[in-house]
């Protein structure tokens, strides 16, 4: 048969997801997809804003099976929505939030009990079949912020998406099914969340949890609502908070972390506290996931098979495997073997706050586009990490004689993700730039210190 | 899409308990300290939203605040129960929650 199946579950009553602790079976999933397809208008682009991970997945699958493309922007600020409308004028927003204020034509996810999916599979095999999707079909456009204010789309085709998470399932030890339940603190709209909760569950015959727990106690509750064996898919921020509060969790068979490097110390504490291995995943929006490591055992990242790393003049490039075109990485990667590398920091302009990536050039551009701002520059506050979450935040120097800091922050909130909002906004009379208009880092540091 | 969470959309309802101004100021101090806010504790309006247009915190900040508050007062903060939905609607809401649930 042609194409790549929607999921790897073999029986109609295999569990695909848990929603509020209730199992949702493969047959129900297919029925819910058809129900949603029945209410979607005839448009090609679908912004998946559902907060419930199962609703998101039904929307994603309904898109796949009807030739639609899912739009996954990195943030949903009014400015990003405006840009999306320019990019895909036919886009509609699928939401499960009655108060959703996204400025696109909105379709409410059909709630309440759907039609009975019918009896379980009988002796007639025609009663059950898993849809297949052409490997080359465009499944999603995942956006990064770019440097000029226009979001940059990255095409994700179905075959490579599946190929990537099949490797991930092997690395996680989930490949042979086994009834794993995956609880994730990251949203499915983020590349890591899409791959490591939704897609890895679909393509290892396991189940994901529809809820997205946030506080440590919520994570414990979400894990307790699903049967063992359990996987916790999370980020250094959430995991650091778990350890700091010392919350008790039900037995967990694996913890997965991505979006930023986890320290060896915290990885060790997590493994000891929760008696489980911890795996880290490395990837990017452009490439998807490409490497993993057992942090307590090694600093080296282990590439996916067939994915190759080359470096030239300090610039790392990835291709092969599910990465269809050579892709330059925003990180400095030092090759230590054919399939191993060390992560040695970010290239100069990129900032990563809580797994959200942007560039200082993009942020400066947004700042300067505010009426009344004459000059301005974002900077990373080095060595100012707060106690618990360990997140380095941004500040900004702004020349804007007619504006106050509050106005500038409100204007920025319309334009950039809240994670990048500068704190503090330092208003200064002028910024001295060099002949090329650039602002040397040391000049910037002096200005910050003086302010 | 917010990587962390989207609790800022939780609907607000009026708190049931009043709490002392002292506790409000103490928690304001914890918040400004934990988040390196460029303001003094007394500058935080107890009634203003902590998210967005009020104090302008985001979900990473809220996780940080939940951490210092739960350690200081021995309270368990959750997002998934009706009672707890409005903890972070304002400094006052947070203080009321702490007053009601504190164990130390």
pLDDT tens digits, A184-231: 999 999 999 999 999 999 999 999 999 999 999 999 999 999 999 999
Sheet holding A425-427, edge to edge: A375-380, A394-399, A425-427
**pLDDT mean over A177-187:** 93
Percent share of chain A, pLDDT over 70: 90
Q: How many CB pairs under 8 A join A and B?
A: 104
Both tokens of residue A153?
A: 């789309």
Q: What is the dihedral of CA A419, A424, A430, A432, to 10 degrees?
A: -60
Q: Which residue has the higher pLDDT, A299 or A117?
A: A299
Q: How far apart are CA A60 and CA B91, in angstroms?
A: 38
Residue A12 CA to residue A370 CA, distance in Å, equals 55
Per-residue pLDDT, averaged over A230-257, amounts to: 94
Instruction: Tell whether B30 lies on the interface with A, counting CB pairs under 8 A.
Output: no
Mean pLDDT of B29-56: 81
Residues in chain A: 451
Position A52 confidence tier, pLDDT thresholds 50, 70, 90: very high
Contacts of A99 in chain B (CB under 8 A): 9, 11
Contact call for A238 and B71, based on CB within 8 A: no
Q: Kindly tell me if the per-residue pLDDT of A288 is higher than 60.
A: yes
What is d(CA A328, CA A351) in angstroms, rounded to the nearest whole number? 16
SS3 A357: strand
Residue A316 pLDDT more than 70? yes
ipTM score assigned to the predicted complex: 0.71
B22 close contact with A: CB closer than 8 A: no
Listed in sequence order, the residues at least 6 apart from A49 whose beta carbon sits closer than 8 Å to its beta carbon are: A76, A93, A94, A95, A97, A100, A102, A189, B1
Smallest CA–CA separation between B48 and chain A, in Å?
14
pLDDT in the model for residue A390 = 54
Q: Which pTM value belongs to this model?
A: 0.82
pLDDT confidence band for B60 (50 / 70 / 90): confident
Are the Cβ atoms of A387 and B34 closer than 8 angstroms?
Answer: yes
Spatial separation of the C-alpha atoms in residues A337 and A291, rounded to whole Å: 13
Query: Mind telling me how many Å the CA of B31 is from chain A's nearest CA?
Result: 11
C-beta separation of A291 from A282 below 8 A: yes
**B14 has a pLDDT exceeding 60:** no
Residue B18 and residue B20: Cα distance in Å, rounded? 7
**pLDDT (average), residues A316-321:** 96
Mean of the per-residue pLDDT values for chain A? 89
- Identify the pLDDT of residue B52: 67
B39–chain A Cβ distance below 8 A for any pair: no
Facing residue for B52 by CB, picked from A244, A355, A413: A413
Q: Residue B78: which of A51, A97, A217 has the nearest Cβ?
A: A217
Decide which of A29 and A178 is more confident.
A29
Asked if the model's pLDDT at residue B47 lies above 80, the reply is yes
Residues in chain A within 8 Å Cβ distance of B11: 99
- Interchain CB contact of B52 with A (< 8 Å): yes
Q: What angle do CA A433, A439, A440 make, to 5 degrees?
A: 120
Which pairing describes strands A181-184 and A207-209: parallel, antiparallel, or unpaired?
Answer: parallel
Q: Is the pLDDT of residue A419 over 70?
A: yes
Q: Indicate the range of A279-293, A411-425, B12-26 predicted with least confidence.
A: B12-26
By mean pLDDT, which of A208-222, A240-254, B46-60 is the weakest?
Answer: B46-60
The residues, ordered by sequence, that sit 6+ positions from A117 with a Cβ below 8 Å of its Cβ are: A27, A28, A30, A31
Shortest alpha-carbon distance between residue A11 and chain B (Å): 32
| Whether the Cβ atoms of residue A180 and residue A174 lie closer than 8 Å to each other | yes
Whether residue A423 has pLDDT greater than 90: no
Kindly write down the DSSP assignment for every residue of A268-328, as one continuous string. Answer: HHHHHHHTS-EEEEEEETTTEEEEEEETTT-S-EEEPTT-EEEEETTEEEEEETTEEEEEE
Q: For residue A237, what are its two tokens?
A: 């921020």
Sorted by sequence, the CB contacts under 8 Å of residue A335 that are 6+ apart come out as: A309, A310, A311, A341
- Please report, for residues A269, B2, B21, the alpha-carbon distance to residue A95 in angstroms, rounded to integers and kept in the order given: 38, 15, 40
Interface test with B, best of A94, A215, A242 (most B CBs within 10 A): A215
B78 touches chain A (CB under 8 A): yes
Q: Which residues pair with A281 in a beta bridge?
A: A292
More confident residue, A256 or B21: A256
Mean pLDDT of A283-298: 96
- Reduce the DSSP state of residue B44 to 3 states and report it: coil
Residue A155 gets the label, from left (phi > 0), alpha (psi -120 to 50) or beta, of beta
Q: Which of A33-47, A282-296, A344-358 has the lowest mean pLDDT?
A: A344-358
Q: Do B60 and A237 touch (CB under 8 A)?
A: yes
Q: Are A255 and A279 in contact (CB under 8 A)?
A: yes
Structure tokens at A12: 């109609």
Query: Which pLDDT score, from 0 to 100, does residue A125 have?
Result: 47
**C-alpha torsion A20→A21→A25→A29, nearest 10:** 10
Residues of A whose CB is below 8 A from B1 = 49, 72-76, 187, 189-190
How many distinct helices (H) and strands (E) make up chain B?
3, 0
Query: Which pLDDT score is estimated for B4?
Result: 46
List chain A residues with CB under 8 Å of B78: 215, 217-218, 221
**Average pLDDT of A53-57?**
98
Q: Which of the pair, B51 or A281, is modelled with greater confidence? A: A281
pLDDT for position A385: 47
pLDDT value at residue B55 = 73
Strands (E), B1-104: none
Distance CA A374, CA A440 (A): 18
Q: Does the structure show a pLDDT above 80 at A440?
A: no
Q: A94-108, A182-196, B4-18, B19-33: which range is least confident on average?
A: B4-18
Q: Which of A37-46, A181-190, B87-96 is least confident?
A: B87-96
Of B1, B9, B76, the CB nearest to A97: B9
Q: Which residues lie across from A181 on neighbouring strands? A: A207, A230
Give the pLDDT mean for A118-136: 71
Is A186 in Cβ contact with B60 (below 8 Å)? no
Of A252-266, A272-286, A341-355, A400-414, give the lowest mean pLDDT range: A341-355
Report the residue of chain B nearest A246, measured CA to CA: B71
- Quick one: A130 exposed, middle or buried, by C-beta within 10 A (0-12, 13-18, 19+)? middle
């Amino acid at each position: 048969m042609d194409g790549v199946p929607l999921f790897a579950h073999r029986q109609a009553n295999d569990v695909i997801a848990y929603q509020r602790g209730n199992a949702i079976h493969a047959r129900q999933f297919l029925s819910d997809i058809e129900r949603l397809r029945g209410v979607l208008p005839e448009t090609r682009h679908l912004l998946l804003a559902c907060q419930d991970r199962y609703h998101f997945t039904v929307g994603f699958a309904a898109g796949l099976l009807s030739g639609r493309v899912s739009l996954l922007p990195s943030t949903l600020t009014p400015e990003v929505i405006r840009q999306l409308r320019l990019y895909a004028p036919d886009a509609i927003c699928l939401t499960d939030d009655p108060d959703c204020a996204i400025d696109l034509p909105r379709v409410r996810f059909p709630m309440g009990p759907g039609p009975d999916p019918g009896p379980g599979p009988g002796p007639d095999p025609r009663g059950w079949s898993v849809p297949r999707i052409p490997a080359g079909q465009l499944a999603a456009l995942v956006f990064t912020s770019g440097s000029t204010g226009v979001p940059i789309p990255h095409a994700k085709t179905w075959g490579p998406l599946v190929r990537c998470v099949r490797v991930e399932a092997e690395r996680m030890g989930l490949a042979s099914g086994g009834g794993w339940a995956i609880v994730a603190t990251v949203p499915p709209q983020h590349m890591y969340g899409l791959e490591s909760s939704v897609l890895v569950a679909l393509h290892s015959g396991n189940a994901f949890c529809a809820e997205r727990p946030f506080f440590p106690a919520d994570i414990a509750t979400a894990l307790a609502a699903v049967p063992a064996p359990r996987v916790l898919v999370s980020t250094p921020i959430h995991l650091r908070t778990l350890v700091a509060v010392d919350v008790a969790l039900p037995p967990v068979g694996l913890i997965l972390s991505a979006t930023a490097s986890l320290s060896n110390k915290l990885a060790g504490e997590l493994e000891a506290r929760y008696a489980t291995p911890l795996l880290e995943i490395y990837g990017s929006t452009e490439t998807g996931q490409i490497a993993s490591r057992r942090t307590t055992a090694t600093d080296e990242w282990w590439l996916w098979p067939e994915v190759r790393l080359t470096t030239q003049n300090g610039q790392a490039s990835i291709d092969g495997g599910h990465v269809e075109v050579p892709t330059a990485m925003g990180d400095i990667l030092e090759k230590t073997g054919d399939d191993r590398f060390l992560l040695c920091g970010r290239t100069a302009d990129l900032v990563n706050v809580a797994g959200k990536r942007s560039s200082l050039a993009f942020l400066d551009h947004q700042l300067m586009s505010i009426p009344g701002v004459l000059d301005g520059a974002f900077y990373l506050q080095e060595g100012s990490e707060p106690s618990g979450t360990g997140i380095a935040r941004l500040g900004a120097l702004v020349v804007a004689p007619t504006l106050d800091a509050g106005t500038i922050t409100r204007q920025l909130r319309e334009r950039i993700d809240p994670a990048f909002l500068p704190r503090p906004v330092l208003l200064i009379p002028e910024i001295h730039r060099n002949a090329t208009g650039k602002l040397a880092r040391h000049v910037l540091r002096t200005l910050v210190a003086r302010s | 899409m917010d990587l962390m969470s989207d609790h800022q959309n939780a609907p607000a309802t009026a708190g049931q308990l009043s709490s002392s101004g002292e506790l409000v100021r103490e928690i304001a101090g914890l918040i400004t300290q934990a988040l390196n806010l460029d303001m003094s504790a007394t500058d935080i309006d107890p009634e203003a939203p902590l998210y967005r247009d009020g104090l302008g915190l985001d979900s990473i900040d809220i996780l940080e605040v939940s951490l210092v508050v739960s350690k200081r007062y021995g309270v368990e903060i959750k997002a998934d129960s009706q009672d707890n939905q409005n903890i972070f609607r304002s400094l006052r809401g947070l203080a009321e929650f702490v007053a009601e649930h504190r164990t130390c």
